[in-house]
Amino acid sequence: MRAELDASYRITGIGVAVPGLVNSAAGVVRHAPHLGWRNEPITAMLSEATGYACLASNDASLAAEAELLFGAGFGRANLIYLHGGASGIGGGVITDGSVLRGESGFAGEFGHTFVRTAGQTCHCGATGCLETEVSQVPLLELAGISDGDTSKLEQLVLANQGECMKAEIQRQLEYLAIGLRNAVNILNPEVIILDGFLGILHEYAPAELQSLLHHQALEESATSTHIQRAKLGSDLMMIGAAELAFTRFLADPARITGASPYGAKLG
């Protein structure tokens, strides 16, 4: 692949979206529980294997930035992005137009915020985490499927108007609203963007989550917060990772290309 790419493009680098805690500055995945990774120097390994510069960050933080630039968050300066999938719930925060990263790059772990006193024990060791109470597993079971294909799950969930499905979605929306209440009161976002199975929950009962949020969060903050689904679909993480790699070029085009920034195609 490299021989083919180098013949036609000037590659700026490789961006990696990782479902876990990533120290972006060091290029190290501190913990990705669903991959079984701890302290993996992902950027150094990829750079050595490919010969390209490599950068890595949390997948949901990159998705938040992608939605800010090209999707549902376009034109907004303050937003929260939440993705629900097989590995749990990840999140990203944009404040005043910039990604909120935190001291080590771990900001945005909404899946491990506390929502239930008598909750289950999470894989992180705590109890009552958002992602133990709001999960796609019960939805898959009620839909009668085992794989987590979002589009397939959405079709089956929306078609199922049975009492069991309605009750489960209502239960999950109530716990999701608790997590969002805390986030809205602390961060005061303009928009909350839901992706993955969280987007399906919202689609099933479009007004319910907004209503729950308005009844729980501070009135002034809740009134200015709108909930909507992500727009970039399955390309979202790829776009976010590409933007991560492209930042090197944007910071210093002449240095990356070796001459004029317009003298070659950019990959």
Name the percent of the chain in helix, strand, coil, to the closest 5: 45, 20, 35
Residue range(s) occupied by CATH 3.30.420.40 in the chain: 2-59+235-257, 72-231
Whether the full predicted model's pTM is greater than 0.85, yes or no, is yes
CATH topology of domain 2-59+235-257: Nucleotidyltransferase; domain 5 (3.30.420)
Please give the structure tokens belonging to residue 220: 């002034």
Per-residue pLDDT of the chain (267 residues; tens, 9 = 90+): 888 888 888 888 899 999 989 999 899 999 998 889 999 999 999 999 998 999 999 999 999 999 999 999 999 999 999 999 888 999 999 999 999 988 888 899 999 999 999 889 998 899 999 999 999 999 999 999 987 788 899 999 999 999 999 999 999 999 999 999 999 999 999 999 999 999 999 999 989 999 999 999 999 999 999 999 999 988 899 999 999 888 777 877 777 655 433 334 444
Element (H, E) at 150: helix 150-159
Closest CA to 179 of 214, 129, 221: 129
- The Cα angle at residue 69 between residues 35 and 247, in degrees rounded to 5: 70
83 touches 60 (CB < 8 A) = yes
Fold of 72-231: Nucleotidyltransferase; domain 5 (3.30.420)
Cα–Cα distance between 180 and 183 in angstroms, integer?
5
C-alpha triplet 52, 243, 54: angle, nearest 5°: 20
